[in-house]
Amino acid sequence: MTLQEETLNHTRESATAIVSSGHALLEVSDLKKRYSNGVWANRGINLTADRPEILGILGPNGAGKTTLVRQITAELIPTSGSVELLGLDVVSNPTAAKSFLGVMPQEADFFDYLTVYQHLRIFAKLRGLAPRESSSRANELIADLDLVEYRNTPVKRLSGGLKRRVLVGTAMIARPSVLVLDEPTTGLDPQTRRNLWSLLRGYKEQGTLILLTTHSMEEAEAFCDRVGIMKDGRLLALDTVDNLRAQHNFEYKINYFPDGSSGDGVTLYGSDDQELVTKVQDLGHNQFSVGKTTLEDVYLSLTEDDEKFDDGTR
């Protein structure tokens, strides 16, 4: 066994002893980050994940999602507050915490002359896997990520979407307890994206917490167990999609067109579809459509200006 392997094994053993008391997989407490230019990127974020799940973070550009991720992975030091992985503070115990962590950043530099297989095998060895296990794990991920055709292709020849898959593989290589993925499906075609969802669900079933950022409403609603919505550095909401809709009286929506106008019309939201119909009819409008709300409705209500929504029933 190499010195690096001995060090990593000792780190994992020490970390396992620390977390045996039943700490949450991830605990973010009053996290704040202010950059040197005075911009507050995160403002008092609290987030707890105490069991394996798929946790999605949504928000417009500049909301602070990537800053949050970079603090969870110990790439950035918080201005105040704390982040703990399995009871380990990522600032005071970064090496121990990272032994449980797999990370996929938004962007990363590759060794362009290396093949897909070589990349994954090297990352496996860096994470402490023995040479034979490194080779086996690299081939396993190549199959799981539908990269068999590109196994011996230099990374510089891959498309953007294929490179994203390689990045996912490097994050998964050591079977981490906590997997942090920053926009993992960007550039993937629909079928590849759904294959990745299926693979990640399998990891969750095996006990992995998966935290990902995304701009896709479809992805968040169809794939995530809980969804957090961020704006201006704040975590505005965090729950299941059904609970988010219920908490904001967003079970149903009705869209009507006053005075026979065309376009998007006016939208009202509420917890009872019949009450919405009665309200619109009482206003003298007979042309309307009723339906169940989506995550996008909740997201827009929390992140867009209030004047874009009729707040009569909210």
Q: What is the CATH number of the domain that holds 148?
A: 3.40.50.300
Same domain, 250 and 292: yes
Same domain, 254 and 132: no
Same domain, 160 and 300: no
Same domain, 234 and 169: yes
Same domain, 286 and 209: no
Number of domains in the chain: 2
Strand partners, 187: none
Domain boundary among 194, 220, 240: 240
Domain boundary among 240, 264, 298: 240
Give the per-residue pLDDT at 3: 41
Length of the chain: 314
Same domain, 87 and 226: yes
Same domain, 15 and 136: yes
Is pTM beyond 0.85? Reply is no
Give the per-residue pLDDT at 264: 66
Same domain, 188 and 272: no
For residue 279, the enclosing domain spans 244-313
Same domain, 114 and 37: yes
Burial of 57 (0-12, 13-18, 19+ CB in 10 A): buried
Q: Angle CA(129)–CA(69)–CA(234) in degrees, nearest 5?
A: 160
Domain boundary among 218, 240, 262: 240
Same domain, 225 and 254: no
Question: pLDDT tens, position by position, for the chain (314 residues)?
Answer: 554 444 445 444 544 444 445 789 999 999 999 999 999 999 999 999 999 999 999 988 889 999 999 999 999 999 999 999 999 999 999 999 999 999 998 777 778 889 999 999 999 999 999 999 999 999 999 999 999 999 999 999 999 889 889 999 999 999 999 999 998 988 888 888 899 999 999 999 999 999 999 988 889 998 999 999 999 999 999 999 989 888 877 788 888 887 666 666 788 888 888 888 888 888 888 888 888 888 888 888 788 743 333 333 32
Same domain, 291 and 274: yes
Same domain, 273 and 195: no
